[in-house]
Amino acid sequence: MDRRDLERLMDKYKAEMLEFSRRNNASGNSASQNDERVREMNDAIENRGTFERDRSDPLPIDEQPMTPEEMQENEPMALPAQTQPANEEPQTDISAIDVAENLRRACATVNENSSAEQRQRCRDINDFLVENSERGSLKVQAFASDQSFGIGSARVMIFIELPSGNVAVFDGLTDVDGITQTVRLPAPPRSLSQSPAPSGARLPYAVYSIYVEHPAFVREVFTNVPVFSGVESIQPVRMLAKSEGLEEPAPIAVDESGFTALQRAGE
């Protein structure tokens, strides 16, 4: 018996039980008797067994045969199967931080009463978002220099450089594995990276700066970190442990113009 046959059988049982209950209530049968019959029906359905209604009190028979239209209207309808549709595309990470949305929300509160610096900053942000109308994703992964373990609770900040100064677009901590949550960052249209660019043309990616610190490790700064539209990347950060008793060392600076450290997620 396939699923469709089982659904028809279940609907038949339910329809008969409804009529059986109605007739028993009308004839004065006790509720306990009805409950027992309901339990028998439920057991039959759960165990895919048979259920026989009480033939001593048969269901009424119509004097006139039903027309095909009436039969179709009165036929119990099987409920559709509750299946989970297959996703044609990967689901978006709902925990990801949307930087563009956060920037727009912050600038929405800036008005003519705000300072000239704030108004100029938001004009620069708006120009940046217009030029970088699509999104790329970035995670930062911090680990010890020997790669033996991830560094949890490292502070990670991501900046964009604007004419009016740097703007922090993310400030968070790594998890127990040393990885930040996904950050969705503005990036230029993907079409810019799909054809050779003439000299002096716009770069097919946006660049960001990343600052990473932890009390037990030397701070690190990464500049010119590229973010491409539609690409999910991981920025690895290999951190050096501080030497006890020495002064705070200067941050380690890394220029990512050569794209040597950036990895695509999953690689």
What is the chain's alpha carbon radius of gyration, rounded to the nearest angstrom?
A: 34
- CATH number of domain containing 118: 2.60.40.1120
Whether 231 and 134 have beta carbons less than 8 Å apart is answered as no
Q: Are residues 69 and 102 in the same domain?
A: no
Does residue 87 lie in a domain region?
Answer: no
Overall domain count for the chain: 2
Does residue 83 lie in a domain region?
Answer: no
Q: Are residues 34 and 126 in the same domain?
A: no
Q: Are residues 53 and 137 in the same domain?
A: no
Does residue 52 lie in a domain region?
Answer: yes
Does residue 259 lie in a domain region?
Answer: yes
pLDDT for 200 beyond 50: yes
Q: Are residues 53 and 170 in the same domain?
A: no
Going by DSSP bridges, is the β-strand pair 155-162/165-173 parallel, antiparallel, or unpaired? antiparallel
Q: Are residues 70 and 101 in the same domain?
A: no
Q: Are residues 110 and 63 in the same domain?
A: no
Does residue 208 lie in a domain region?
Answer: yes
Q: Which of 74, 106, 124 is the last residue of a domain?
A: 74
pLDDT of 39: 67
Q: Are residues 222 and 122 in the same domain?
A: yes
Q: Are residues 241 and 210 in the same domain?
A: yes
pLDDT in tens, 8-61: 555 555 555 555 555 555 545 444 555 665 566 566 555 555 545 444 444 444
Does residue 88 lie in a domain region?
Answer: no
Q: Are residues 259 and 185 in the same domain?
A: yes
Q: Are residues 133 and 183 in the same domain?
A: yes
Does residue 136 lie in a domain region?
Answer: yes
Q: Are residues 167 and 229 in the same domain?
A: yes
Q: What is the pTM of this model?
A: 0.62
pLDDT in tens, 60-114: 443 444 554 554 444 444 333 333 333 333 345 668 999 999 999 999 999 989 9
Going by DSSP bridges, is the β-strand pair 232-239/183-187 parallel, antiparallel, or unpaired? unpaired
Domain holding 229, by residue range, is 97-264
DSSP labels, 109-158: T--TTS-HHHHHHHHHHHHHHHH--EEEEEEEEEEETTSSSB-TT-EEEE
pLDDT of 17: 56
